[in-house]
Each structure stands twice: as structure tokens, then as C-alpha cells.
């Protein structure tokens, strides 16, 4: 199958929101790595912990795409996910290298720490560049294929399967990435869908711990206005 020749008939996009969130998190973390206070053991430990968290989120995202997106794609177009699988394997190898560098930087003494943190920064920059290219390929080439093979309802069902597999804590964590990276309109759509499908307590927790925690007060107030809910002070 030629990805270029795919003619989409559906419009649902489950790649865009999470990819925007991952791009934002990657960019922010890369900047922090570049200006890290390598003379502070505590600052390095906190930063290394954040790199590990980002690696965990990236692995979680890859696993969900493997399980739900690639499986569905293979069912309609056998062989279409082979290149994606190879790319995901490459990403996992990169994550292993990052985790090894994290461990070395964390255990380094004051003399070794600057060089190891520079290595971590450069390795993470390559990982980010490769992930940006991979996500762009998924959105520009793979998404049109999915939209030509599945209806909007089927694509939404795939996303529902992914979301239903997240724990409340994971949903909040991903929400902190996705909500600030989204446009004001898309924030309302995203949170509106959660409110329609999640218990009231879960929706309230996401609003408080993900939306409010990650948005500027004016942006949070605009979101609440769009959802028709009262903004909590």
C-alpha cells in the first residue's frame, strides 16, 4: 500500500493531541537539560528523575500505539505497520540508552557530572529530533491511511480503548502534557469528551490537577467558560 495515495474519508485524529503534548514536554525538558546546574547534585537528581518520567511516558505511548493502532491497521492493511514497528523498536533502544546515562549521571561525583550531563543532553536531543520526525510521519503519512480505512466512529473507538486503559493518575499525567499544548478550542473539545464519558469525580480531578495546574489563570478561566463550569479559585 502507498501511504501517499491514501484518500481519507474520515477526519478523526487521535495522533495530534498527544503528539502536541509530547512535543511540548520534549522541548521543555531539552531546554532544562541544556541549562542544568551541573554543580548541584540535587538539581541533577531532580532533572534525571524528569528524564526518566518522560522516557516512561514515551514508552507508554509506544505500547498503546503498538497494541491498538498498529493491530487495527494490520487487520485492514497487512504489512502497513512494519515500518512503524521498526521505528518503535529504535525508540525503545534509545530509551534504554537514556536510562543508562541517567543512572550514570545520578551516581557521578562532582568531577564526572558535567561531562555525563552533557552526554545526556546530546543523546536526549537526538532522541527528540528522531521522535519529532517519527510523529510527523505518523500524522502526515499514517493518519491519512487510517482515515481511509476506518470511519470516524471506529477511530474514536480506538482512542477510547487507549484512554480506558489509563489509570486515573496516568490520565492526569498525560493531561498535563496535552492540555497546555492544545488550542483553546481543542481544550474544550478534549475536556468535554472526558466529562461526557468519565465519572464526575474523575473529571473534577483532571480539571483541578491537570488543567488548572498546567494553564495560566486566564487560559483556565477561558476553558471553564467554554465548558460551562465554574472556575475554582
Q: Examine the fold and report which residue of 143, 165, 187 is the final residue of a domain before the chain moves on.
A: 165
pLDDT value at position 18?
Answer: 95
d(Cα 131, Cα 137) in Å, to the nearest integer?
A: 10
* Same domain flag for 142 and 29: yes
Q: Give the separation between CA 230 and CA 68, rounded to whole angstroms.
A: 36
- The tens-digit pLDDT sequence of the chain (233 residues) is 445 466 888 899 999 999 999 999 999 999 999 999 999 999 999 999 999 999 999 999 999 999 999 999 999 999 999 999 999 999 999 999 999 999 999 999 999 999 999 999 999 999 999 999 999 999 999 999 999 999 999 999 999 999 888 888 999 999 999 999 999 999 999 999 889 888 899 899 999 999 999 999 999 999 999 999 988 66
Q: Verify that 22 and 128 share a domain, yes or no.
A: yes
CATH number, position 38: 1.20.120.520
Same domain, yes or no, for 142 and 173?
Answer: no
Statement to judge: residues 138 and 34 lie in one domain: yes
Print burial letters for 175-201: b (CB count within 10 Å at least 16), e (below 16): bbbbbbbbeeeebbebbeebbeebeee
84 and 150, same domain (yes or no): yes
Residues 122 and 183 placed together within one structural domain of the fold: no
Same domain membership, residue 160 and residue 145: yes
The predicted structure's pLDDT at residue 163: 86
The count of structural domains within the chain is: 2
Asked if 147 and 183 sit in the same domain, the reply is: no
Task: Tell me if residue 71 falls in helix, strand or coil.
Answer: helix
Same domain for 18 and 95, yes or no, is yes
Cell of residue 175, nine digits: 493531561
Q: Is residue 151 assigned to a domain?
A: yes
pLDDT for residue 7: 81
Q: Are residues 125 and 34 in the same domain?
A: yes
With CA atoms as reference, report the closest residue to 81 among 92, 65, 64, 102: 65
Statement to judge: residues 68 and 88 lie in one domain: yes
Please say which residue of 137, 165, 193 terminates a domain: 165
Last residue of a domain, one of 165, 184, 204: 165
- 214: domain range? 168-228
Please check whether residues 35 and 53 belong to one and the same domain.
Answer: yes
Residues 124 and 51 sit within 8 Å (Cβ to Cβ): yes
Query: Would residue 5 count as lying in a domain?
Result: no
Looking at residue 5, its pLDDT comes to 60
φ/ψ of residue 78, rounded to 5:
-55, 130
Tens of pLDDT, residue by residue over 62-89, are: 999 999 999 999 999 999 999 999 999 9
Residue 20 lies inside a defined structural domain of this protein = yes
Amino acid at each position: 500500500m502507498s501511504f501517499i495515495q491514501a484518500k481519507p474519508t474520515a477526519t478523526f485524529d487521535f495522533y495530534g493531541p498527544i503528539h502536541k503534548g509530547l512535543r511540548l514536554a520534549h522541548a521543555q525538558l531539552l531546554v532544562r537539560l541544556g541549562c542544568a546546574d551541573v554543580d548541584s547534585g540535587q538539581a541533577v537528581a531532580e532533572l534525571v528523575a524528569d528524564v526518566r518520567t518522560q522516557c516512561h511516558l514515551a514508552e507508554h505511548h509506544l505500547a498503546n500505539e503498538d497494541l491498538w493502532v498498529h493491530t487495527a491497521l494490520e487487520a485492514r492493511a497487512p504489512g502497513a505497520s512494519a515500518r512503524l514497528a521498526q521505528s518503535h523498536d529504535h525508540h525503545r533502544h534509545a530509551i534504554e540508552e537514556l536510562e543508562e546515562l541517567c543512572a550514570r549521571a545520578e551516581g557521578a561525583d562532582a568531577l564526572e557530572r558535567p561531562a555525563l550531563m552533557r552526554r545526556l543532553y546530546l543523546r536526549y536531543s537526538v532522541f527528540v529530533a528522531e521522535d519529532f520526525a517519527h510523529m510527523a510521519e505518523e500524522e502526515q503519512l499514517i493518519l491519512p491511511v487510517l482515515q481511509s480505512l476506518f470511519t470516524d466512529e471506529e477511530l474514536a473507538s480506538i482512542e477510547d480503548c487507549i484512554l480506558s486503559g489509563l489509570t486515573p493518575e496516568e490520565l492526569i499525567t498525560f493531561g498535563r502534557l496535552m492540555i497546555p499544548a492544545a488550542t483553546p478550542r481543542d481544550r474544550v473539545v478534549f475536556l468535554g469528551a472526558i466529562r461526557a464519558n468519565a465519572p464526575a469525580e474523575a473529571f473534577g480531578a483532571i480539571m483541578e490537577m491537570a488543567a488548572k495546574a498546567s494553564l495560566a489563570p486566564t487560559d483556565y478561566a477561558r476553558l471553564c467558560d467554554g465548558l460551562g463550569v465554574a472556575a475554582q479559585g
